[in-house]
Amino acid sequence: MERILVTLPVEDRHRAAFESAAPLAEILYMAADSVTEDILGTVTAVIGNVSAARFKNFANIRWVQLNLAGTDGFTSPGVLAPGTVLTNASGAYGLAVSEHMLGQLLMQIKRLDQYQDAQRKRQWTDFGTVKSIWGSRTLVVGLGDIGGAFARKMYALGSEVQGIRKSPGEKPEELEAVGTFAQLDEWLPEADFVALSLPGTPATYHLFGAERLARMKPGAVLINAGRGQTVDSLALNDALRNGRLGGACLDVTDPEPLPADHPLWDAPNLLLTPHVSGFYHLPETLERIVRIAVSNLKAFMAGQPLKNQVDFACGYRRNVEDNQAEKNALSQEDER
């Protein structure tokens, strides 16, 4: 009998969905911080994030469904036994995170943070000119669920949008152009807004360091809601303080949490939130995670391909189009 561990904060209706998907399995529900190695040694699948440090090549575990789009730590050698299928929650976070990114950007370019500070001081102050999304150019680096959702929102508000992805693919209707990282430095100097939604991998570490930040259009705004390590925080601090950039909107930092004495805290024209755009802050995100997990549980029990399988070589979800069997299995599923 399959023994499934679920660590998501589920309600009765969620439990009913899991149990309907796997009526012949034993399903354990518990908080992630209560899971011991002894428990991990008895289950065949895990749904929800348990610290990667607790995994020790458990040969009994054949599938791990993460509740995050990121896979931090789980693709490292020695964590999961060879042959273990790892799936993530890509598709669950686009709504929440893209809205957060847009909210930060509008607050930044309309100077709403400055007006809020003036309100608290009871000061009737005009802070001058503002920027518009209409007529701007946006470069979205990382066209997964989150980047794609943000691109559509910017297009709807009148921006010309270009996208950068790892490998060539079909161009969505709302994008002016789609390129690979070979086009990044070519397109970067023309963008008014640069939005990052990249995973944390060796290839993305400090992708935006001093040199690349210097290539950005003077006065441009950088938005990062992927992984903090993509941006060199000290280089960004310098770019904001010397006026090269018009602003930055961050929900992630490197390091994270940002130390209290880090100079980035009081850099000018910076909006910083403590990695709160995702997780379960928007209740719909949990609903989407559960739907992905239930769908995959049905497939797992039936011996069918799973959605959102992670490529251990690159550390994030592989392109579904590269796997015809998976593509066929998911043809009726909503990839968004």
> What are the residue numbers of the active site?
227, 256, 275
Cα 134 to Cα 128, 158, 304: the distances in Å are 18, 4, 45
Residue that is written with structure tokens 């802070």 in the block = 127
CA-CA distance, 334 to 301, in Å (whole number)? 20
Using CA atoms, how far apart are residues 197 and 138, in angstroms rounded to an integer? Answer: 13
Both structure tokens of 24: 């012949």
CB burial of 117-135 (b: ≥16 within 10 Å; e: otherwise) equals eeeeeeeeeeeeeebebee
Contact 44, 65 (CB under 8 A): no
User: How wide is the angle at C-alpha 103 spanned by C-alphas 199 and 318, nearest 5°?
Assistant: 20
* Residue 183: φ, ψ to 5°: -95, -5
